[in-house]
Structure formats: C-alpha cells, structure tokens
Structure 1
Amino acid sequence: MTSRNATHKTKKHLANLFRARFPYLYIQTWEEDRILSLIRDVAQDAELIKTTRDVILWRVTSGLIDGKGQPKDDTKQPLKALEYIEKYDKPCIFVLQDFHVFFGSEWRTPDYLIIRKLRDMLSSIKRSEHPINVIFTSPFLTLPEDLQKDVTIVDFELPSFEEIKAVLEQMIQMNEQNGRIQIDLDEEGKERLAKAALGLTLSEAENAFARAIVEDGKLGAQDVEIVLEEKEQIIKKSGILEFIRSDLKMTDVGGLENLKRWLSKRNKSWLDSARKYGLPAPKGVLITGVPGCGKSLISKSISSMWQLPLLRLDMGKIFRGIVGSSEENMRKAIQTAEAISPSILWIDEIEKGFSGYSGGSDSGTSARVFGQFLTWMQEKTSPVFVIATANNISQLPAELMRKGRFDEIFFVDLPTRQERKEILKVHISKRLIDPEVAGDFELTDEILNLLSSKCEGFVGAEIEQLVIDALFEAYAENSSVRLEYFERAIMNTIPLSVTLAEQIRGIREWANVRAVAATPREDREEYTNEGLAIPHGGILSSMDEFDDVRFKRGGRTVDF
C-alpha cells in the first residue's frame, strides 16, 4: 500500500466511524495540528461523511473553543465540558486534547467521577437527534478498564512520504524565491531526502530540512546525514534501541567480496525506482561464521553504503524490567524501527538473545518474544533491513532460518590469502600515516604476500591486533616501523583457528550445505601452510594437530 493510499484509508476509516456514530474514539499522536487538520477535512467532506459537522476543541488551558476560535464560557473544568457536550444539539465532533490525565496511570489515580460521567453520557450521545462524536487525542495511550468496551482506538500513522515531500518542495520553493540558498537536488535526491525523513513528524522533518539549509547555505542529497541525525533523537528517547554512528565504509572491510556484491545490488531498493521492476524491499541477512572474521564490521559498513540509519537491538534490554514488559519492549523496538524506516536493524550474536526461546525457566517469556519477532520478520512490509550475526549457529532455532525470514544466510570463514592481504593493507595503511614512523618501510605487494602467508589461520580481528602490536613494538623502541616487528607479533599470537578448532569445524560442516560463502569462488582456497607459527616459534607437533587448523572452506559456492 502506498503512503498516499494509507492516508486516504485513514480518512475513510474515520468517516465511517463518524457516520456509524461511534461515541468515543481515541487517537494516540504527538501531532495535534495534523490530526486536527485531518478531522476538520473529514468533518466538512459531505461525500465522505454525508452529514457535515462542526469541530469543537477542548484544552484544559482554554476550555471548549469552536471553529471560529470562540471559547465556551465555564468549560475549563472537565466535568463542565462534558456537561456541555451532553446537552449539545447540533452535529458536532468534540476533540478533547490530553484528556488521558484523568484516566489514571502507574503514577496517577484515575478520576472516577469523570470516568463515571463519560459512561453516563453514552446513552444520551447515542440517542441524540444529531450525530455527536467525542475524540480523545494524546501522545500516550492511557485507557481505564471501565471504558475499554466503550472507546474505539484509531491508529494514526506518521506523515506519509507524499506529505513530507510536499513540505520539502514548499521549503525549496520559498528559499528559491528568496534566492539565498543553493538547491542541488534532482528528483531522486528529493526522494532520498523525503524518505530519509520518514518516521519524523512534519514539524521534526521541517526542522531537519531547515537545519540542512542553514548548515552551509545549500540543500543537496548529501544532507541525508543531517536528517539521520534528527532521527537519532527518536532512538535515544526509546531507550531500547541504540543508534550506531559509524565512519566505516565498505573499503574498510577486507575481502568478503561475494557478500559485498550482494549488498551492492540491493542498494536503493527501497526507492520508487525499484518498484518499476516489481521488487520488494529486501528483508535481511543472517551472517554466521568464525568469531572475529568481520561480521560486525560489515554490518556497520552497510549503513554508510546505503545511507540508512543503523539501529542495534540489545536483547538484554528487551528482557529487562517487570513481568510482562518484555513483549512490550519488543513491540516498541519494532515500532521504532518501522517508524524511522527505511532503516537497518542489527542484532549482534542473535543466538544469545534467543537461547531460552523454548520456554521453561522464564514462564515462556522468551518463546513469546521470539514468536513475536518471527511473525514480524515474516510479515513486515516496512523497509527495515535486518542484519543478524551469529557465532554459534547450532544454538539458533530452525524456525529463524526458514525461507521468508531472511533473504540469504552467509557464512564468513577464516580469511583466505587474498583476504588477509587486503585486511593487512587496510590496517597498516590506516595507521602508518606519519613519515617518521614509516621510515624506510614500504608496504609492497611482496611484503603483503609474506605477511599474509605467515598469518595463515588468523581471523580479521587478530590481523588488526598484530598490526597494533607491531606499532607498539616500534613505539616502545622509539624506532620507525620494521618488518621484523610484524613477524614478531605474528609469532606471539595463538590464533582462534587453534584454540577453537572443534567449534570452527562444526560451523563449517553446518555452513557447507546451509549457507552461501561470503568469499567469492576465485578467492577461495584450502589451508596448506604446515609451518603455521605458534608462540614458541616452532611448528605444529603433528599432522593431527595440523588437521585441526586446516579445513576445507565451508559455505555453498554461489557467486553474486
């Protein structure tokens, strides 16, 4: 359903409720002006509502105010306002703002007199000769049990793409007339900016665009970053999701070209241009593999490639709090991710979050939260791309890996020779920037080949650390960098391929038939270096020991 159709559906739904004389409606929203504008449009649309109606607004600060801005005397008190509504004898829609404060909460006792009055009014409103509707609007959904059977909750979505784009176009037009800013936006650029602002209120979107304009006196596609910064405020206020800001780029990730190509082909797939091909927005990927091989690194890099906000879901925060709050926390996390979509939702080490999904020790809470997440993954229509990473794939339930949850499952293995060269080049080049520290050391292809051979069996994190260790050696000796420092760091490192040999074998056996290799066919190889260094400088003591670190590379051969 397009955003425009969704807005029309909301108007029609409201009109049908008015015509059916639903007495009490409840709309949760922060956007008072926008919902009032919508209600007034519906109230005066004879084609939709048949009988047009006045709209009268109530606030505790002003009492009842009619459409002409005229206050109704002595109606600031809620009981007086309700008495006025009960006696009103014309077709009318009454909008009561922030009336939830009288409904009670965890910190406030309900006003039972007002609740009783609302229940007493039901029969007179329903029997009234003229149609009367009462709408409660509030940023919070607070409804006492006494009124749950009498009040209808109406969903009011955040501004549509068309509404936000209209605000953007209006701001562009106004500033072009003034001639004070430079506009560098084509249609795709406008679409990217407007879609980046999805999840913001109209006021928040307008503020974000205004800030982009005053930053440098220009408005262009690069200002997507400023819009994303405004979205970060939403995440901070939710308290469950974490907004990840990362400067990492795909060029900072060595190797994994197969996975990179897959991701690159799906860039911009949430834009309208993809709709021409009948393409849905991608659901997500599950990335499993050897710990420390770059799963988290590439997850962070997708955000910069796609220019989308990256949100990390901490499962520990989902399960904290009082009984019954875990399901609500998951619901809020999903709502927040969808509210600021298109977005990327990252769940790191997902197997730890759902390890107790079978229920038992937690009265089934994990199972309910897991089921809630699975249902959303299967049925979601909002462009929220889910990245889940896992080290121990055996702990993941089979339901999570069923087709329809993720678009693809990728396996990240120990880096190949070519990948180790790229990782070494990335980390050495990034750190070795001072000419005095570099000295006579040149990062040639010959040196990269030598080092990549010596660190066979190392994961990406270990390669990064050996570069850091080598630079510490140079720093401690107040010397420029020398090749021997890197060789010494390699000799002093016991790789995970030795300490976690059995676990790596199990991961590879699983991935060989169930996952796609993140490394392309041309870069894949078997490990053949029987002189793999260990701390005391010797070699592996036997071929049995060597077999624990030399495996056939896992993952199906599917190149993108």
Structure 2
Amino acid sequence: MPNGAETKARIESYLLARIPFVSVRTVERGRALEMLGELAKEKQLDVIVHTLSQGLRDLRSKQIVSEDKSLLGALDLAGEWFQSRANLTVVFTDVQHLGEDNDISRRFVDLAQLAEEHGGCIMVITADPTWNTLQRMGMAVTLDLPDVDEMRVAIEDFLRQYESVIRIEWGAAECEEAASILTGVTKIEALNILATFVVKKSITKAELVELGRAKDSIFSELAGIERVTVRSGDHPVGGLAGLRQWLDRKRPLLTMDLRDRGMRPPRGVLLVGVPGCGKSLSAKAIASDWQLPLYRLDIGSVLGTYVGQSEGRFREALATADAVAPCVLWIDEIEKGLAGSGTDSTGVTTRLVGQFLYWLQESRARVFVVATANDVRALPQELLRSGRFDDMFFVDLPDPEERREIIQIYLRKYLRIPVPDDLVEELVRLSDGFAGSDVEAAVAEIGYEAIRIGDDSVPVDYYRSAFRNIVPLLRSAPERIDEVRQLRDRAIPASGKVRDVPEKAGARRVVLG
C-alpha cells in the first residue's frame, strides 16, 4: 500500500508528463489538495482548483479566478483556458456519478481530449470509481490513509505548536504508540482528536488510552461488525494460567513497530474446548485487560441471499476491523460460520474461507483475533495451518485449584461479605466436574438469596444446595465431553499444565516455559 510520499511522487510524474486525465482516489480531499499545493510551489506548476463552495481558485496564490461555482461553468472555463494557456492543470473536487456513462462523464471525456491537444491536464479527486472510458484516457493513483510513519510526523508537527503553551508528556515512544493507534483514520480526524486533548491544557501518557476510545467513537456506526462494550476489570477469568501468560507476552507486540524485522503484529488465538469453560469470556477479558475496543464478527449475519452478497458483506466486515485497529476481534463459535467448506453447493462457504484465510495471512492491521470453537474438527483444515492464528489453546474443565479461583472470583462479585475458607473448600469439592459457567450459576443463585434476605442471613446449607442443584455437562452429557477432549492433543493446554497422557503418532508436542 503506497504511502503519501510515494503517491505524491506519482502525481508529480503525471503532472510533469502532462497526462491529460488523472484520477486521485481518496477520502482525504484536504490532504490531496495540500499535496498538490506543495507540488505547485516546488515545481512552479499552474494549477487551478474547483470546489462548489469557492468556485475556481489558483492553488499557489489562493486567489479566486472565477466566481462561477457551478461544475458546468467550471468545465466551460477549463475548455477555454486549455485553448489559450499551455501546461495548465485544472483540478475538480466535487463531481458526482463520474463512475457512470452520463452527460457529465462525457463532458469530462471531451475536456480530456482537449487537454491532450493543448498540453493540459484534468485531475479529479474522488472517493468513487471513474467511468472506464474516461479513466482509460489517463492514469489513476490512490492516496491511502496515513501510514504509521506519516501519522507520527503529523502528530509530532501538531504537538510542536503547543510545546510552550501546555504540558506535553509524550516523547518519541508515546508518539510512536499514538501513531500506531491512530492508523486507520484520516489525518484531519487524528488531529481533531489531539485538539480535544489540547483544550485540557495537558497531554499526558494516560491520554494514550483515551486516544483509542476517541478513535473507536469515529467507527461506532460502521456496518459489518458489532461493538461490544467492556469495562476494565468487569471480566475476570479464573484458571487458564497458560493462556494468560501467553497473552501477557503478546500484548506489547501489538503496538510495537515490527517492520524493521519484517514481522507482522500478533494475529490472534483460536480457543477450542469444553463449552462453558471461559472461551468467550476470555475474548472480553483480553479487550478489558489490554484496554482495546472489542468487536464481534457474526459470520452467520453476513450471509446474504444474492450471488456475491455474502462475500461483499464479509469483505466489508474485515475491512471495518482493519479500520478500527488496534482492536480485539471476537469470532464466537467460528466452526458454525465456516463449516461446510467443500460441501456447500453454492460455493459461498468456500469463498468465505478463502477470504478469511487471505486476510489472516496478509493483513498487517493491528487486529487481534480471538476465535472460539467447540468442535475444531468442523473447521476447514487449512484454517488450522501454522501462520493463520498465532496458536491454538484447549480449554478443559477446571481442576480443583482453578475451581477455587473461579469460586472466589464470583463470591467477591456477588456477595458483600467474606466467605470462610473451609466453606470455600467444601464448595470446591461439591463443584467437581463443573464448568466455569456452572460455578457462576451456582454462586449467582446464592447472590440472589443474599439480595433477598441479606448476605449475613444466607445459611451455609443454602450454599451447599445451590451447588448440588447444578447438573454439569459432565454428568448430563459425558459423551460430549469425551468427544471434545479428543482434540486436546492438537492444542496447547490453556491451564498451562502438561497433561500426563500417552503420546500419539502425529500429536502436537508442546513445551511450556
């Protein structure tokens, strides 16, 4: 993806070569005009710009050259100027429906032919495609959103204006992190966010967290993915020590600049295992602990009725995730959305899998994917190949130590009094075979009773009965647990504990540090 400097160089070469028609595809009209203004001054180019608000003005002198603000009037004047002035460039910024065969598009074709005859150049700055017949008369260039380096320079230039006016705690490292956070927004959007910090009379290191929230608000209404609200500390996870240690090592890498090593940011993790043991909760906990926005992608919701509709919606959802980065993208029960590859008569699932694999492999956006699955065997095998997700973890039923931690988490959450250690130990024994969701349900029942009669008034027998009344999946459907556990040898234990199981041919060997 070309950065601003490369785009500017290409535009310069087209202008100097007097290409009769140039389209600049971008959503940043102001940045494109700023770039053109620099070229006009550096190369002494004769450039006239048309906008509906100001009419025609000289880009170097900023002087209005015509009060006629209409597009048709500007086209007529450009035609007259091309016949009387050499090496003139006329830039149009407010052209609608130029991607279709219509009267306006044909007027531009005629004007481009006239420009070619007299060494002129027409440039159109637009976010939309251009009619093929018109585009083939010249060249096209795309001005992408600022990359990390450009964003860092813009941030440093902006802050430099206020160094003597407000307290600024950001150094080179903070500017670099801010730039990585703000990639995906336009330059003016980024500077507007920084301007809201300036009015507070200080820019502290704590503002880096606020920076992500401000960026997130820009994309809150985008289609394709659903914003999930999480608050710091609201989603504690008990057990899963191995997964948590792994995540602690990955977090700093998500915002580091890894380009000098040719490496991409961490891509994400696939969590498989027993239902109700914290896979989905882990996605929320990661976003909460890392202080990143959480988005949920429901693959089933992007499926459409018409040919190509599903693929278009899915592509839009992934592009949205790239735009809101850095973020956590949660794909719950991914096997339900991507299962059936190769058996779908329409080929939609196969194409969705292909899109997803390409995105996982090639996207360099700082999107950390947390995908969960109860049955990894239903997933396309190519999704499990090394290089897709960073790793795959198996989440099993919690052992006594993990159940103790989970019970204590929910007792602190739902009750207002401490619970004696001996009672906690008894609840640990009563919860043998419980999933984390079973523990939460039992403690929540105690919490409801505490609200009804008061925390001090809940008898010990009620604690016991709340746990005894839970029928865990291990008792109601043991065959399902056994079936899921057959996948354990294909993934790293999320508990961080090496299981004492016989080694099987082809099994994945895991060494935990």
Q: State TM-score, norm by structure 1.
A: 0.81
Structure 1 counterpart of 2:176, from 185, 191, 196: 191
Q: Which residue does 1:491 correspond to in 2?
A: 468
Structure 2 counterpart of 1:269, from 229, 242, 253: 253
Q: Is the 8 A contact 1:184 1:221 kept in 2?
A: yes
| 1:203-282 matched pairs, under 5 angstroms | 203-214=188-199, 217-249=201-233, 252-272=236-256, 280-282=264-266
Structure 1 counterpart of 2:130, from 143, 149, 164: 143
| 1:365-404 matched pairs, under 5 angstroms | 365-404=348-387
Q: Is the 8 A contact 1:78 1:114 kept in 2?
A: no
> Residue 364 in 1 paired to residue 343 in 2?
no
Separation in 2 of the partners of 1:334 and 1:558? 33
Q: CA distance change for structure 1 residues 170 and 196 in 2, over 3 Å: closer, same or farther?
A: same
> Residue 30 in 1 paired to residue 27 in 2?
yes
Structure 2 counterpart of 1:429, from 385, 390, 412: 412
Question: Quick one: which amino acid aligns to residue 336 of structure 1?
Answer: T
> Residue 156 in 1 paired to residue 143 in 2?
yes
Structure 2 counterpart of 1:451, from 427, 431, 437: 427
Separation in 1 of the partners of 2:508 and 2:185? 41
Separation in 2 of the partners of 1:443 and 1:174? 60
Q: Is the 8 A contact 2:98 2:129 kept in 1?
A: no
Q: Is the 8 A contact 1:259 1:518 kept in 2?
A: yes
Q: Is the 8 A contact 2:434 2:472 kept in 1?
A: yes
Q: Which residue does 1:96 correspond to in 2?
A: 92
**1:387 aligns to what SS in structure 2?**
strand
Structure 2 counterpart of 1:120, from 99, 104, 110: 110
Q: CA distance change for structure 1 residues 147 and 171 in 2, over 3 Å: closer, same or farther?
A: closer
Q: How far is the alpha carbon of 1:126 from its aligned partner? A: 2.7
Question: Quick one: which amino acid aligns to residue 444 of structure 2?
Answer: I
| 1:294-309 matched pairs, under 5 angstroms | 294-309=278-293
Separation in 1 of the partners of 2:471 and 2:508? 25
Q: How far is the alpha carbon of 1:418 from its aligned partner? A: 1.0
Separation in 1 of the partners of 2:198 and 2:64? 39
List per-residue Cα deviations over 1:90-139 (Å, max 9, x = no partner): 223322112124556xxxxx6x22222222334333333x3x3322223x
Q: CA distance change for structure 1 residues 71 and 276 in 2, over 3 Å: closer, same or farther?
A: closer
Separation in 2 of the partners of 1:117 and 1:170? 42
List per-residue Cα deviations over 1:460-516 (Å, max 9, x = no partner): 11111111011223344456244322211111111122334223222211231x111
Q: Which residue does 2:504 correspond to in 1?
A: none
> Residue 409 in 1 paired to residue 397 in 2?
no
Q: Is the 8 A contact 2:266 2:366 kept in 1?
A: yes
User: When the two structures are aligned, how many residues end up with a matched partner?
Assistant: 503
Q: How far is the alpha carbon of 1:251 from its aligned partner? A: 7.9
Separation in 1 of the partners of 2:334 and 2:356? 12
Q: Which residue does 1:558 correspond to in 2?
A: 511
Separation in 2 of the partners of 1:150 and 1:452? 76
Separation in 2 of the partners of 1:321 and 1:210? 45
Structure 1 counterpart of 2:338, from 351, 354, 362: 354
Q: Which residue does 1:537 correspond to in 2?
A: none
**2:184 aligns to what SS in structure 1?**
coil
Structure 1 counterpart of 2:63, from 70, 74, 78: 70
Q: How far is the alpha carbon of 1:401 from its aligned partner? A: 0.8
Question: Quick one: which amino acid aligns to residue 275 of structure 2?
Answer: P
Separation in 1 of the partners of 2:509 and 2:443? 32
Q: Which residue does 1:549 correspond to in 2?
A: none
List per-residue Cα deviations over 1:238-280 (Å, max 9, x = no partner): 2212233312549811111111111111122144465677754
Separation in 1 of the partners of 2:19 and 2:429? 75
Separation in 2 of the partners of 1:276 and 1:152? 32
Separation in 1 of the partners of 2:64 and 2:486? 75
Q: Is the 8 A contact 2:24 2:142 kept in 1?
A: yes
Q: Is the 8 A contact 2:57 2:63 kept in 1?
A: yes
Q: CA distance change for structure 1 residues 559 and 101 in 2, over 3 Å: closer, same or farther?
A: same
Instruction: Pick which of 414-423 and 263-272 moved more.
Output: 263-272
Question: Quick one: which amino acid aligns to residue 70 of structure 2?
Answer: Q
Q: How far is the alpha carbon of 1:289 from its aligned partner? A: 1.1
**1:159 aligns to what SS in structure 2?**
coil
Structure 1 counterpart of 2:441, from 465, 475, 487: 465
Moved over 6 A (4+): none
**1:333 aligns to what SS in structure 2?**
helix
Question: Quick one: which amino acid aligns to residue 358 of structure 1?
Answer: G
**1:404 aligns to what SS in structure 2?**
coil
Question: Quick one: which amino acid aligns to residue 53 of structure 2?
Answer: T
Q: Is the 8 A contact 1:286 1:408 kept in 2?
A: yes
Instruction: Return 5+ residue gaps in structure 1 as ranges.
Output: 47-51, 105-109, 527-553
> Residue 55 in 1 paired to residue 42 in 2?
no
Instruction: Pick which of 267-276 and 447-456 moved more.
Output: 267-276
Q: Over aligned residues, Cα RMSD in angstroms? A: 2.9
Separation in 2 of the partners of 1:235 and 1:82? 36
